[in-house]
Amino acid sequence: MTDLDPIIQTARDWLAQDPDETTRDELDTLIRDAAAGSEIALDELHSRFDTRLAFGTAGLRGRIGAGSARMNRVLVSQAAAGIAAHLLEHEDQPSVVIGYDGRTNSDVFARDTAELMAGAGVRAILFPRALPTPVLAFAVRHLDASAGIMVTASHNPPKDNGYKVYLGHADGGSQIVPPTDGAISDQIDRVARDENVLSLPRSTEFETAPESVVDAYVDATAALLPQGAEPMSVVYTAMHGVGWETFARVLEKAGYPAVTSVPEQQEPDAAFPTVSFPNPEEPGALDLSFALAREVGAELIIANDPDADRMSVAVPDSASPEGYRQLTGNEVGWLLGWDAARRAASEGIENAALACTIVSSPALAAVAKEYGLGFTETLTGFKWVSRVPGLVFGYEEAIGYLVNPDVVRDKDGISAGVAFLAMAAEAKREGVSVAQMLEGFTETFGFFASDQLSVRVTDLSLIGALMAELRSNAPTVLGGVPVSQVDDLKNGSGDLPATDALRFSLEDGSRVMVRPSGTEPKLKYYIDVTSPAEESDRARTVLAGIRSDLEEFSARVTG
């Protein structure tokens, strides 16, 4: 009777159009085992076919494998054909530039996309090799393409891959936003429903992007680092990703002394063998960087994530067991934002604005106010930050920074690393360390501190239960401070579109943002406290108390 289960026929239909030998073999085995009565295989088929990876403003992202709920050549082909149809609906002669990183199948997915785009009548331009995501975002604008597609899962686990979409022309190479995501999703669903991907027209008459595109990105990014900048001893890690070649070329173009790269993590490696999770923010991810930095006496550590759109920094700290302290995403954002604000004010840039996401620290607003600049809070994601009018700098606490908006309209870990190095080098020339810059920030703008609490679940319904409890029975006191206001953003707030998030404002100016993660099965709390510089000890106590109260609340709800 098992052979009659509809999920087996669904899997067979998928198998009939799968061009990939690896996923075909994987799926064929599952089908045979399920048909023979294996409940384990049947459950696995349900996990792969009961749902479909949804295409949204973050594109596609998921684990590599056979099935509609996995990343594979069938799903990517459906996405490519759907995007092509959308572009042809809106433009007579559309074009798309396609990039890819060093993850498993990234090059395969990219070539499939190029062939399907060309077959559909879209001018397709494929990157010549694996390159950082920001180079793709740059290329969309540089080549005046209609759109861009980047095959990457950024800092996700090693077995994942993904698919990001950018818009060109008036959108300037920013990531897609509604309603475009919905329109593309509808086209992808149509292809999946009505077409066999093996029958879709393909063509090898696509173009290869010239090296001059990469050269132009390198030139524009090198301009962030002044010639003759103060030399510093720097350790760099690409985290087994694609950042090293481009980062090194930028420094060479700027005439800056070579930095020391972590050799074990320098070249792309889809297995990510030295890290359990290829994200610079994860515990242990920078251990090799710390060891090399101690060996060479580095003054600065710069880390990119695998597709180099994010950047993290660590600085010497004698109080730390590693001898270095990794700055938080907010701390890096404060310093880069402060630097951008000073330059914008000194250059008299009209209508200049700073921006950050709603879950990032309120400190950037204080910087903007001090320098008479505009300030905007956006929803999470650089698709929103990049669209702020007059933007000179934007960031999100998850180590994403937009420092060169006239060149790249997305977070860019290469240009952010170069900009931070330029800022640190100038401070060194003046006898100031990065740690002293942070002290100066507190003296100028007050004390700000942030923390995060993630509640990871295996049962996704618990996330909904937590949000429901927070909405109906919200804490009235956190960290010993009364909650003065709770804003539910599900219907929007001010200029913010609707989103599934809550904002708790406390009487002392502290704030808690709560939202489900967009990429992982967890609920995230973002805690921010602020105080005058001389009351920092009290603020730290409040921060710890808020975290403790939220941990207790979450444990009670999730059991």
Taking alpha carbons only, the member of 276, 271, 324, 282 closest to residue 454 is: 282
Residue type, 86: H
Cα angle 269-273-279, degrees, rounded to a multiple of 5:
80
> In the numeric block, which tokens belong to residue 456?
């990871």
- Tens of pLDDT, residue by residue over 495-543, are 788 889 999 999 999 999 999 986 678 899 999 999 999 999 999 999 9
In the chain, % of residues over pLDDT 70:
99
Average pLDDT of span 254-259: 96
Asked if residue 222 has pLDDT above 80, the reply is yes
Burial (CB < 10 A; 0-12, 13-18, 19+), residue 227, is exposed
Give CA–CA dist 99/142, Å, rounded: 14
Mean residue pLDDT of the chain comes to 95
Average pLDDT of span 432-444: 97
Give CA–CA dist 305/394, Å, rounded: 18
Lowest average pLDDT, out of 4-18, 273-287, 462-476, 484-498, goes to: 484-498
Q: Is 486 helix (H, G, I), strand (E, B) or coil?
A: strand
Residue 541: what pLDDT?
96
- Tens of pLDDT, residue by residue over 44-80, are 999 999 999 999 878 999 999 999 999 999 999 999 9
Report, as residue numbers or ranges, the catalytic residues. Answer: 154
Taking alpha carbons only, the member of 60, 63, 79, 131 closest to residue 100 is: 131
- Superfamily of domain covering 446-558: Alpha-D-phosphohexomutase, C-terminal domain (3.30.310.50)
Residues 6+ apart with CB under 8 A from 109: 71, 73, 76, 100, 151, 161, 163
Q: What is the 3-state secondary structure (H, E, C) of 270-323?
A: CCCCCCCCCCCCCCCCCHHHHHHHHHHCCCEEEEECCCCCCEEEEEECCCCCCC
- Tens of pLDDT, residue by residue over 281-305, are 999 999 999 999 999 999 999 999 9
Give CA–CA dist 461/17, Å, rounded: 34
Report the predicted TM-score, pTM, of the whole model to 2 decimal places: 0.95
Asked if residue 1 has pLDDT above 60, the reply is no
Domain map (residue ranges) of the chain: 1-50, 56-205, 210-445, 446-558
Residue 519: what pLDDT?
64
Residues 6+ apart with CB under 8 A from 51: 68, 69
Residue 132: what pLDDT?
98
Q: Is 215 helix (H, G, I), strand (E, B) or coil?
A: helix
Q: Which one of 3.40.50.300, 3.40.120.10, 3.30.2310.20, 3.40.367.20 gives the CATH number of domain 210-445? A: 3.40.120.10
- Tens of pLDDT, residue by residue over 165-191, are 999 999 999 999 999 999 999 999 999
Q: Do domains 56-205 and 210-445 have the same CATH topology?
A: yes
CATH 3.40.120.10 fits 56-205, yes or no: yes
Does residue 306 have a cis bond before it (omega within 30 degrees)? no
**CB-based contact 218:252 (threshold 8 Å):** no
> In the numeric block, which tokens belong to residue 248?
């090194």
